[in-house]
Structure 1
Amino acid sequence: MDADPGTHPHPGTNIPAHSPTPTPTPTDVLVVGAGPTGLALANELLTAGVSAVLVDRLPRRSDLSKAGGVQPRTLEAFDQRGLLEPLLATGDHPTASGHFAGIPLPFAAHRLPWRSVPQVVIEGFFERHLAARGLHVRRAHELTGLTQDESGVTAAFANGAALRCRYLVAADGAHSTVRSLLGAAFPGEPGTSTTTAADVRLDGADAVASHTWNEDGHFAALFPLGTDDRGRPMRRLVLGGPGQSSLPRDTPVTEDDVRRGLSTVFGARVRLLELRYARRITNASRQAERYRHGRVFLAGDAAHVHLPLGAQGMNTGLQDAYNLGWKLGAAVHGWAPEGLLDTYHAERHPAGAAVLRNVRAQSLLMDWAGTRDPGVLAAREIFTELAQLPDVQRHLGGLMSGMALRYPMPDLDGGHPLTGRPVPDLDLGTTRTHELLRSGRGVLLDPDDAFAKAAEPWSDRVDVAGRGAATEPMLIRPDGYVCWAGTVGLEAALGHWFGDPR
């Protein structure tokens, strides 16, 4: 088995740059890695009104989709920035039913159901959107060194370029160069088995279930990926089980391998028509001990890796970006209260740990390696029965969609049940709550005009809205989470999240 991300050497923080060292170009925030997390973060930084540079070691954008689904909470975040409709207009992005460990679940209805949007589509969309805003990805920038001091970070690249920034964010994937240069601990479980993931066009797939096992433990999972440029349906195919699990990650995947896998599970019912790409993935499960290292932050796969179960990996990284972006903006503009940047780790590390936990549980229940262990099969049977209970369905639906996430927050409002949760999509008469967040500022919903005067000293960073609406007062952070609600403690909450008044 090849090395997983946790086994890379950590050469230390102060890596020597080229000699002589070029004069660094200054910027507020340097984002390393132009995948979905880095692209979304760059957009958040522009929305916050700070300068950003986005670099990637690849000379061109990859045409491979490591992820293919977008969960409701991430769709909400796109909608809150006015990006959802133009993203969905890029092609056919069908909805699909949810599952937990391959067990179908009728997740509770949401105004924005799960959508199949391949990663390559999201990356292309964000790259075009950023270019229209004047930010172009700087490609062929391979990071070779970084140093940080009290005022900023200096990054050096293999092409001789150098950048000086106030903050740096590592969004450079599972084998993160930034994480290695920092020597950051990345504990967890190494990869012990592999499976095949491929983007394919199939004949006969409409007549089979999304998750199918045969008697000896081989399995296939199928997910919609929309249509190709000729309107033909494409699918993400995952193949695993005995024989698959022992192959090294770098073993090439051929068309014959995919055909044999399909035949083993489906017989002659499903045929391969076209293979776009295929790769082997491992069940490595790791999470960085700390998401913040001084002025350097880890996000996306640089901070957490796990099996791609339930369309959670890319979504977790995107939520990292939405959590961190406005906080970096506040720090750059000078109004960030003490400890605001530390809340990135305090909020997102538990969220990432919860994803790793549910992925491990799913992997066990799916019998990922095809062991056909009687104990595992018995546990799956019991869980399948439990999954028919409405309360279980609601719990798992919230877990997988991201909608059940509640950030830990100080009790400034008497412990209101909304605090720490995503803001509800409320009809405010002439607008809805998600539309109020498009500026990237905080929002105070003040239906009875009772708090506008108290909030006025923060008017340069918090908008007041909702007068006359049928809702209770609440304060919403730029990332769409309620940080205060009710009637008491507003000024304390404003100071805690939005700094000193003017």
Structure 2
Amino acid sequence: MDADVVVVGAGPVGMTLAAELALAGVRAIVVEALPERSKLSRAGGVHPRTAEMLDQRGLLGPLLATGDYQEYDGAHLAGLTISYTSWNSREPGRFIPQTQVEAFLERQLAGRVPIRRGHRLVGVEQTADGVVATVSDGERESTLRALYLVGADGAHSSVRKLLGIDFPGRAGTDTAVVGDVRVTGPRAGDIYHEPPGQVVRSEDGRWAVRFPLGDGLQRLVIGGTGAQVSRTEPVTADEVRDGLAAVYGGDVELVDLPYVTRIADAARQVRDYRLGRVFLAGDAAHVHLPLGGQGMNVGIQDAFNLGWKLAAAVLGRVPDGLLDTYSSERHPVAARVIRNTRAQSVLTDWAGTGNPDLPELRSFVADLFALPDATHFIGGMISGLDVHYDMPDQPEHPLLGYRLPNPDLKTADGTVRPYELLRSGGGLLIDFSGDSVHLSAEVPYVRAYGDLGADVLLVRPDGHVCATTTDGLPAGLSRWFGTATGADWRISAT
């Protein structure tokens, strides 16, 4: 084998997955069709749950050290700001451009995981014991043999197309313009001082929304023209100027446009993220409108869910059915994102219908979102803080299946945060019972003092709680980490 896992795609999803595999000691190779890292910003924000996951690997601090990134403490749904503070995360959201995330992750992989740029995937064959990937550098073809292959190669995934995986859903019909802009003029301040994520409208139904990218650069989305324009039609600077004038008036001058593209309202999702030894992640598995800043975050969270499971399979520690839980857990998450982005497209009048009742609908929805329970629900959904996975054979508990909180824990050795104990990429057992439950296994153990409402907390490598009682430990260990009765796992009170 040339590698244990071939990862196709060197975007934030593929590189996050490669980092997870490398942390577990699994050999990965990343292949990327582009000859060099993209300089296009694309996604522009890291939501709280993604930040938490990066913190669990010790990556958040170094990433934040690469720039001065503006924080945000609320989710954006159709231009309405929804607080997620009720979820008690230590992390706010931050406007970190995708380019910065990709550059950071590539530096993290340097010397650990080879990235073969300028290599396009042209063939995939599954065998009884592995996968053969054929790649081309434009001059010659070569093969890579591995146990598994992951397609993290975007909405137009070569992996998905080569294997003939159906991509059901709705084709894009209406488009909007997305550009990174610098503007000047008497009304330029109206753009720079609008709250990030706030939808600004003109009387004729045109709309715009902006997010800061740093150094005076703004991500600007302009829509509502009502025109049927092909997504492949190039965007001109004059088209951006026309949109600026329609929404903000004529006193805004475009001075720089380093990146501009056209996006459509396509909504598609594969039925199963796994086909034998091949997996799909990120936009290769699901596409939707970039409303609420969810795309990159959902993809990175896909990678955190899949990485430790693939590593367990490669290292021979995989319980029956573990790899299938990747699709069963992550498919509903992206399906919900697709639903909420389609709803947002109506609330923003993405298609530019000019419905005169739309302001009343938005006002009505805004009143609903002001209710504490609604704010909690929407904030958790957009930020990713409310993701819940099924944990069979476990007694019910408010934390079961949800992300592990990150409070200060008092131990015999001092205070520690749980996320600091997940840095190795393994699981974690936090014991509040006083019985000193002992595991002779590769799960870090800490005896803590305090009250999170559970005797013990068994935590998966991705930070989700999978057991909350000593009686539930055997089933939790067996399902997520391997056998609970053999030599690998021993549970005893000491």
Under a length normalisation based on structure 2, what TM-score does the superposition of the two structures give? 0.91
Amino acid at match of 1:256: D
Residue 104 of structure 1 is aligned with which of 63, 66, 81? 81
* Contact kept? 1:444, 1:463, Cα under 8 Å: yes
Q: Is residue 206 from structure 1 mapped to residue 210 from structure 2 by the alignment?
A: no
Describe the shift of the 1:207–1:441 C-alpha distance in structure 2 as closer, same or farther (beyond 3 A).
Answer: closer
- Aligned partner of 2:123 in structure 1 is 145
CA distance in 2, matches of 1:320, 1:438: 18
User: Structure 1 residue 215: deviation in Å?
Assistant: 1.3
- Aligned partner of 2:66 in structure 1 is 90
CA distance in 1, matches of 2:396, 2:252: 54
Residue 400 of structure 1 is aligned with which of 355, 370, 382? 382
Residue 154 of structure 1 is aligned with which of 110, 132, 140? 132
- Aligned partner of 1:358 in structure 2 is 340
CA distance in 1, matches of 2:113, 2:32: 13
- Aligned partner of 1:42 in structure 2 is 18
Residue 117 of structure 1 is aligned with which of 85, 96, 114? 96
* Contact kept? 2:404, 2:465, Cα under 8 Å: yes
* Contact kept? 1:127, 1:136, Cα under 8 Å: no
Describe the shift of the 1:59–1:238 C-alpha distance in structure 2 as closer, same or farther (beyond 3 A).
Answer: same
CA distance in 2, matches of 1:200, 1:98: 23
Amino acid at match of 2:446: A
Q: Is residue 438 from structure 1 mapped to residue 423 from structure 2 by the alignment?
A: yes
* Contact kept? 2:28, 2:114, Cα under 8 Å: no
Deviations 1:93-112 (A, max 9, x none): 10134321112223326321
User: Structure 1 residue 388: deviation in Å?
Assistant: 1.8
Q: Is residue 239 from structure 1 mapped to residue 222 from structure 2 by the alignment?
A: yes
* Contact kept? 1:416, 1:486, Cα under 8 Å: no
SS in structure 2 at match of 1:289: coil
User: Structure 1 residue 462: deviation in Å?
Assistant: 1.1
CA distance in 2, matches of 1:207, 1:483: 44
* Contact kept? 1:30, 1:52, Cα under 8 Å: yes
CA distance in 2, matches of 1:76, 1:291: 24
5+ residue gaps, structure 2, are 489-494
* Contact kept? 2:205, 2:225, Cα under 8 Å: yes
Deviations 1:298-350 (A, max 9, x none): 00000000000011000010000000000000001111100000000110001
Alignment of 1:72-471 (within 5 A): 72-96=48-72, 97-108=74-85, 110-131=89-110, 133-158=111-136, 159-202=140-183, 203-204=188-189, 205-209=191-195, 210-227=198-215, 233-243=216-226, 245-412=227-394, 414-429=395-410, 430-450=415-435, 452-453=437-438, 455-456=439-440, 459=441, 461-471=442-452
Name the count of aligned residue pairs: 466
5+ residue gaps, structure 1, are 1-24, 228-232
Q: Tell me whether 78-87 or 93-102 shows the greater mean CA deviation.
A: 93-102
Amino acid at match of 2:201: W
Deviations 1:110-162 (A, max 9, x none): 3211100101110110001100x422311111111111122100011123121
Under a length normalisation based on structure 1, what TM-score does the superposition of the two structures give? 0.90
CA distance in 2, matches of 1:328, 1:451: 31
* Contact kept? 1:45, 1:326, Cα under 8 Å: yes
* Contact kept? 1:147, 1:153, Cα under 8 Å: yes
- Aligned partner of 2:491 in structure 1 is none
| Richer in strand (by share) | 2
* Contact kept? 1:47, 1:439, Cα under 8 Å: yes
* Contact kept? 1:326, 1:440, Cα under 8 Å: yes
CA distance in 2, matches of 1:419, 1:237: 40
CA distance in 1, matches of 2:104, 2:83: 30
SS in structure 2 at match of 1:495: helix
CA distance in 1, matches of 2:292, 2:369: 15
CA distance in 2, matches of 1:56, 1:321: 17
CA distance in 2, matches of 1:498, 1:253: 50
CA distance in 2, matches of 1:126, 1:402: 21
CA distance in 2, matches of 1:349, 1:316: 11
- Aligned partner of 1:480 in structure 2 is 463
Q: Tell me whether 55-64 or 366-375 shows the greater mean CA deviation.
A: 366-375
Shift >4 Å, 4+ stretches: none
RMSD after superposition: 1.5
* Contact kept? 2:224, 2:351, Cα under 8 Å: yes
